[in-house]
């Protein structure tokens, strides 16, 4: 009887202890989440303030990176804290040099290091938690890593990062194939990988990925701004790639679809079609894509749809 009571007290004591430990860990994760969000939001505001000096911005980043490193070293491998750290490193990378964030320090190499850390932490968290949030974080971190490698011209590393993200996104999408968010994550990485392959002159492989993205997302406009912008870009890239492979009819059809979507979007968001033309021209000004167009021109293929687009861009740049 005494032994039973002792065992019962030990069990109750253990439950109380572990409950206390769990609440303590929860509080720590919440505290870090609050501090990180507050600090990074404050940093974002200061970056957007043009009066902040370069020295001030650099000092802010050194402070937050030092803080994140300290938290990482004392995290005790708590997967929830690792997940929050991953998100924080990802946001810092955005501010350091993301190609899609206007207010950044213009330091893509530093952003790459932050995204690498974000990916490693997210993957470790995902291995242990196996929940939706950690999966999304891992996919997002690898996607951003692929994007920054692509910006820096590191095609092999960009492809590798996108493939990591694509493996995770494919499995994630299979679990709930009709979930719009999971489709979006899958499409982002098909598109990213396809663009790197297109830039690396692996045009036939790029076409497969662009088609996979359109099959996943649906290739018709739905009226949803983000969806339609995505398929606009995919049809445009697919058109350029097909033209390069000599499939002029299919290429022209995709380019016409892209332009039609752009014109409809322009009406909805009260932006002149020229605004969309500028976006296309920014893509065409890419050094390798432009080289392809010059090669087509020198080969006498003056009627190709991408060459006509280049002429439009030439007029755009001269105000004609």
Q: Write the pLDDT tens digit of every residue in 142-179.
A: 999 999 999 999 999 999 999 999 999 999 999 999 99
For the question of whether the overall pTM of this predicted structure is more than 0.85, the answer is no
Question: At a CB cut-off of 8 Å and minimum separation 6, what does 217 contact?
Answer: 183, 184, 187, 227, 230, 231, 234
Domains and CATH numbers, the chain: 59-205 (1.25.40.10), 218-320 (no CATH)
Instruction: Look at 23 and 279; give whichever has higher pLDDT.
Output: 23
Percent of the chain whose predicted confidence (pLDDT) is above 90: 42
| Torsion angle of C-alpha atoms 53, 54, 57, 63, degrees rounded to 10 | -120
Q: How far apart are CA 297 and CA 291, in angstroms?
A: 10
Mean pLDDT lowest among 85-94, 193-202, 242-251, 307-316: 307-316
Helix axes 180-199, 287-298, angle to 10 degrees: 50
Q: Are 105 and 97 in contact (CB under 8 A)?
A: yes
Instruction: Look at 221 and 283; give whichever has higher pLDDT.
Output: 221
Instruction: Provide the pLDDT for residue 79.
Output: 87
Instruction: Render pLDDT for 2-37 as a digit per residue (tens, 0 to 9).
Output: 444 444 344 434 433 334 444 555 665 666 556 655
Q: How far apart are CA 56 and CA 192, in angstroms?
A: 34
Q: Is the per-residue pLDDT at 273 higher than 90?
A: no
Within the chain, what is the greatest distance between any pair of CA atoms?
98
Q: Tokens 């939001």 sit at which residue?
A: 41
**Local confidence band at 281 (pLDDT 50, 70, 90 cut-offs):** low
């Amino acid at each position: 009887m005494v032994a039973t009571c002792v065992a019962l007290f030990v069990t109750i004591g253990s439950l109380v202890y572990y409950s206390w430990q769990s609440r303590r860990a929860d509080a720590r994760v919440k505290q870090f989440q609050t501090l990180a969000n507050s600090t990074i939001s404050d940093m974002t505001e200061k970056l957007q303030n043009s009066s902040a000096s370069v020295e001030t911005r650099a000092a802010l980043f050194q402070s937050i990176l030092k803080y994140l490193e300290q938290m990482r070293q004392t995290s005790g491998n708590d997967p929830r804290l690792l997940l929050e750290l991953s998100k924080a490193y990802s946001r810092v990378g955005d501010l350091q040099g993301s190609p899609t964030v206007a207010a950044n320090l213009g330091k893509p190499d530093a952003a790459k290091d932050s995204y690498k850390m974000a990916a490693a932490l997210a993957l470790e968290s995902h291995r242990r938690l196996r929940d939706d949030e950690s999966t999304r974080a891992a996919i997002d971190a690898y996607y951003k890593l692929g994007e920054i490698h692509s910006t820096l011209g590191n095609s092999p590393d960009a492809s590798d990062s996108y493939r990591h993200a694509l493996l995770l996104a494919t499995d994630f999408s299979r679990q709930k194939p009709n979930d719009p968010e999971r489709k979006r994550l899958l499409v982002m990485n098909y598109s990213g990988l396809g663009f790197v392959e297109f830039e690396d002159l692996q045009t036939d492989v790029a076409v497969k990925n662009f088609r996979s993205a359109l099959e996943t997302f649906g290739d018709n406009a739905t009226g949803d701004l983000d969806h339609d912008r995505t398929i606009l870009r995919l049809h445009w890239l697919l058109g350029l790639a097909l033209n390069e492979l000599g499939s002029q009819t299919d290429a022209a059809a995709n380019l016409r679809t892209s332009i039609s979507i752009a014109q409809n979007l322009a009406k909805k968001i009260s932006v002149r079609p020229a605004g969309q033309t500028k976006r296309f021209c920014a893509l065409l000004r890419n050094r390798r894509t432009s080289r392809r167009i010059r090669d087509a021109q020198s080969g006498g293929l003056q009627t190709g749809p991408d060459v006509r687009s280049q002429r439009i861009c030439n007029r755009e740049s001269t105000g004609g």
